[in-house]
């Protein structure tokens, strides 16, 4: 295999990915959309989702245009890369939004068709739901890789080369990181807004409907039921998609930037280092498509068989990528191909371990969740203490896995030489790319979850037969498992991506200093080192980025604290938005008694609007925090402070995210375990306690936890984009 051939894997992946996404979408639309009643309910959900999207995108448009203008103005003063910054920033936001839009359009249309298919067979319903999920998965990866590729091709053709040797590709790749800023900001709005939306609707629907009025889940008489179903799409489809779109683009961009920087003295190897992550990603898309076709099942399959079928698809893709990437890296003729392959493997294995650990921590089949369920007999307080304790302890394995994975990736890529920071950190970015190479199919199984969930809602609201409900329940329950692993995967990949972004930061600093006409680093010892050949260690020494520098330590404290304060803000936001929802549902029941009798349809739209507005209003403060803290730290504490902030924020944010997600997942499944008849079953004292645990866990696992994924990445990328300002004007 020659290196030119390898390059073509990337565009091939993009084209094939988009092609199959279109095919799966067309296939889905051709399916039977069910009875008129089913379509009416589905229409409510779809309109609600689109209302949310329209509202959010309208706000986003103004934010992006405002920031784009700001960046344009700043570009006159700061940075070579800032000339392209506004366009890249807007493109990042726009394509992330497009991916989210396609995903939501598909999911809302697919759920009613899944429900319709479930009237006839389980296998058919699985097929509709999963392939529709694959639309989202493939669109995200194809658009992500396609954009990175397009930027590189465009810039190679049109961007002026600089005098610096090898500077062309370094400049091009680091400039490309601005694309990540757009994707990241859009992800913040989608994840935080979506998280607030979905939990406000869920808590509101449950507290009044289930608890106060005693009507079942997904009952059409509940005014918040449509908002609740919309929330699944808004949070788990659009939010998760934007989150992983950002990780995907971020890891690719960081890998290209670090690769270009590591081999800046050797143009041939440099090009290969930039191509390698793109080729691995392209390969991943192609083999994800293969995996999607493996997921099938026959009628009467048990829950276990369904899960096995899904797992088989993902596992086959992963193993094929493992094997093929070895060939690809060899064919590329890059230095140390086995070492880089080791990095790919580290990433893939870390992703699998984190996913499994999440499943262990949250599945009712294992002791942690069962112990939480057992404590429910002692009441709400013991349930909560047990869940919080279990969540904290559950951080051990995922964090160790990422720590070991990072270290292994670094060591493999650097030939076990810890001094080779450049190449080693490139290896860490490659590990992130490796982990995300299966994203096409893992995201398919994530997006499948809310589709199955909504299909169940549709079946319930249309009062179809119990055997239909049993089929959608089986699909839904499977979706809960994939959602748990998906969450672990999202957290793990966010951590690796953020690490790679932090590593890229210093390359951007170097470029900014070159732009300012600085040519040497003047070291404390009096030695001067030429900027263009200065190693990362030299930069670290120059900026005094050691763990005894009080600036670094103080900034680390602030980073840790930011993760907690950000989580607290999103938790409080859910509380406030849910209160508004509770008031509205109570009002409708009070003012129109016909609703509860089933005589007339409740006003679904007003609940959708309350969740939408609440989400928009409440996401402003956390968004500002995430953007302003790195800018302020950079302005006051300088480069050393920024790196301290980002590391502290990442270390704490990552562990906190695992804790919140796993505690929430454990409570959720402990409740389900009790409902299955354990510890007294439904409506027992233990059940009431478990419901309280689940309600507390909702904002943990669906709002605060996932939002932290965005925080750690967004802070890094804001720091990168703001380098021009912070390097020029920092106080210290």
Question: Under a CB-based contact definition with an 8 Å cutoff, are residues 129 and 292 in contact?
Answer: no
Least Å distance, CB 63 to a second copy, is 24
Least Å distance, CB 32 to a second copy, is 40
Least Å distance, CB 177 to a second copy, is 17
Judged by CB, which is closer to a second copy: 6, or 421? 421
Which of 430, 479, 140 shows the shortest CA–CA distance to 303?
479
Judged by CB, which is closer to a second copy: 157, or 548? 548
Query: What is the rounded distance in angstroms from the CA atom of residue 422 to the CA atom of residue 446?
Result: 34
Query: What is the rounded distance in angstroms from the CA atom of residue 419 to the CA atom of residue 158?
Result: 36
Least Å distance, CB 97 to a second copy, is 29
β-bridge mates for residue 520, sequence order: 530
Judged by CB, which is closer to a second copy: 309, or 703? 703
Instruction: Compute φ and ψ for 32, nearest 5 degrees.
Output: -60, 130
Q: What is the DSSP letter of 528?
A: E
Element (H, E) at 209: none
Q: Is 1 helix (H, G, I), strand (E, B) or coil?
A: coil
Judged by CB, which is closer to a second copy: 265, or 537? 537
Least Å distance, CB 541 to a second copy, is 6
Query: What is the rounded distance in angstroms from the CA atom of residue 681 to the CA atom of residue 597?
Result: 28
Judged by CB, which is closer to a second copy: 268, or 400? 400
Q: What angle do CA 634, 556, 189 make, to 5 degrees?
A: 65
Name residue, tokens 């880089």.
340
Judged by CB, which is closer to a second copy: 38, or 645? 645
Q: What is the DSSP string of 107-135?
A: HHHHHHHHHHHHTT-HHHHHHHHHHHHHH
Name residue, tokens 């080693």.
424
Report residue 12 CA to chain centroid gap. Answer: 25
Least Å distance, CB 67 to a second copy, is 25
Q: Which H, E and C letters describe 656-682, residue by residue?
A: HHHHHHHHHHHHHHHHHHHHCCHHHCC
Name residue, tokens 């239909």.
468
Query: What is the rounded distance in angstroms from the CA atom of residue 180 to the CA atom of residue 250?
Result: 6
Least Å distance, CB 31 to a second copy, is 39
Least Å distance, CB 167 to a second copy, is 21
Both tokens of 696, joined, read 């507390």
Q: What is the DSSP string of 187-208?
A: HHIIIIIHHHHHHHHHHHIIII
Least Å distance, CB 156 to a second copy, is 28
Query: What is the rounded distance in angstroms from the CA atom of residue 536 to the CA atom of residue 532?
Result: 11
Least Å distance, CB 548 to a second copy, is 6
Judged by CB, which is closer to a second copy: 468, or 660? 660
Contacts of 267 (CB under 8 A, 6+ apart): 166, 169
Contacts of 187 (CB under 8 A, 6+ apart): 96, 242, 243, 245, 246, 710, 713, 714
Judged by CB, which is closer to a second copy: 419, or 463? 419
Least Å distance, CB 59 to a second copy, is 24
Which of 179, 705, 244, 650 shows the shortest CA–CA distance to 437?
244
Which of 467, 495, 348, 488 shows the shortest CA–CA distance to 412?
348
Judged by CB, which is closer to a second copy: 375, or 437? 375
Judged by CB, which is closer to a second copy: 290, or 561? 561
Judged by CB, which is closer to a second copy: 288, or 395? 395
């Amino acid at each position: 295999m020659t290196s030119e051939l390898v390059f073509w894997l990337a565009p091939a992946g993009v084209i094939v990915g988009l092609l199959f996404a279109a095919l799966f979408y067309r296939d889905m639309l051709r399916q039977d959309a069910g009875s008129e009643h089913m379509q009416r309910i589905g229409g409510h959900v779809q309109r609600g989702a689109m209302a949310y999207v329209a509202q959010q995108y309208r706000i986003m448009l103004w934010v992006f245009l405002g920031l784009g203008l700001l960046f344009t103005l700043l570009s006159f003063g700061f940075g070579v890369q800032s000339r392209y910054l506004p366009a890249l920033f807007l493109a990042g936001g726009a394509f992330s939004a497009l991916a989210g839009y396609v995903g939501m359009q598909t999911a809302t249309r697919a759920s009613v068709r899944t429900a319709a298919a479930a009237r006839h067979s389980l296998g058919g319903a699985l097929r509709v739901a999963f392939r529709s999920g694959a639309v989202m998965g493939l669109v995200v990866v194809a658009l992500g890789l396609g954009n990175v590729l397009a930027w590189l091709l465009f810039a190679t053709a049109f961007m002026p080369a600089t005098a610096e040797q090898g500077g062309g590709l370094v400049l091009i790749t680091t400039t490309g990181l601005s694309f990540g800023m757009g994707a990241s900001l859009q992800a913040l709005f989608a994840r935080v807004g979506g998280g607030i939306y979905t939990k406000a609707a869920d808590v509101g629907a449950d507290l009044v409907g289930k608890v106060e009025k005693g009507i079942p889940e997904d009952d059409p008489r509940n005014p918040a039921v449509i908002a609740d179903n919309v929330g699944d799409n808004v949070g788990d489809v659009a939010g998760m998609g934007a989150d992983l779109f950002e990780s995907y683009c971020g890891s690719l961009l960081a890998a290209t930037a670090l690769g270009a920087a590591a081999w800046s003295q050797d143009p041939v190897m440099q090009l290969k280092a930039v191509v390698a992550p793109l080729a691995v990603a392209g390969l991943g898309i192609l083999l994800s498509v293969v995996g999607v076709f493996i997921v099938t099942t026959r009628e009467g399959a048990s829950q276990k068989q369904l899960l096995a079928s899904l797992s088989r698809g993902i596992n086959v893709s992963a193993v094929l990528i493992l094997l093929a990437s070895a060939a690809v890296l060899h064919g590329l003729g890059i230095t140390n191909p086995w070492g880089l392959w080791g990095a790919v493997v580290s990433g893939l294995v870390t992703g699998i371990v984190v996913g499994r650990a999440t499943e262990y921590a949250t599945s009712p089949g294992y002791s942690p969740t069962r112990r939480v369920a057992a404590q429910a007999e002692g009441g709400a307080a013991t349930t909560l203490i047990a869940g919080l304790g279990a969540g904290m302890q559950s951080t051990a394995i995922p964090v160790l896995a990422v720590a070991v994975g990072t270290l292994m990736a670094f060591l493999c890529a650097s030939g076990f030489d810890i001094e080779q920071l450049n190449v080693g950190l490139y290896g860490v970015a490659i590990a992130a790319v490796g982990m995300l190479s299966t994203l096409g199919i893992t995201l398919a199984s994530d997006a499948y979850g809310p589709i199955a969930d909504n299909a169940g809602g549709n079946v319930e609201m249309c009062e179809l037969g119990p055997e239909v409900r049993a089929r959608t329940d089986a699909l839904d329950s499977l979706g809960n498992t994939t959602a748990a692993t998906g969450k672990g995967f999202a957290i793990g990949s966010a951590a690796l991506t953020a690490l790679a972004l932090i590593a890229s930061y210093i390359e951007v600093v170097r470029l900014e200093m070159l732009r300012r006409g600085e040519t040497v680093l003047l070291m404390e010892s009096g030695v001067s080192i030429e900027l263009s050949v200065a190693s990362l260690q030299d930069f670290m020494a120059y900026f005094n980025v050691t763990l005894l520098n009080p600036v670094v330590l103080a900034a680390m404290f602030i980073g840790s604290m930011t993760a907690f304060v950000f989580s607290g803000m999103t938790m409080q936001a859910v509380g406030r938005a849910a209160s508004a929802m509770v008031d509205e549902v109570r009002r409708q029941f009070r003012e129109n008694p016909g609703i509860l009798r089933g005589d007339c349809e409740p006003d679904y739209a007003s609940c959708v609007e309350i969740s939408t507005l609440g989400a928009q209003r409440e996401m402003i403060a956390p968004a500002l925090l995430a953007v302003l803290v790195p800018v302020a730290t950079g302005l006051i504490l300088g480069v050393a402070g920024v790196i301290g902030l980002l590391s502290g924020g990442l270390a704490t944010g990552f562990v906190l995210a695992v804790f919140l997600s796993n505690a929430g997942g454990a409570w959720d499944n402990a409740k389900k375990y009790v409902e299955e008849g354990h510890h007294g079953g439904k409506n027992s004292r233990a059940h009431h306690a478990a419901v309280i645990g689940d309600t507390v866990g909702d904002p943990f696992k669906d709002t605060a936890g996932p939002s932290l994924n965005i925080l750690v990445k967004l802070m890094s990328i804001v720091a990168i984009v703001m380098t021009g300002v912070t390097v020029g004007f920092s106080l210290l």
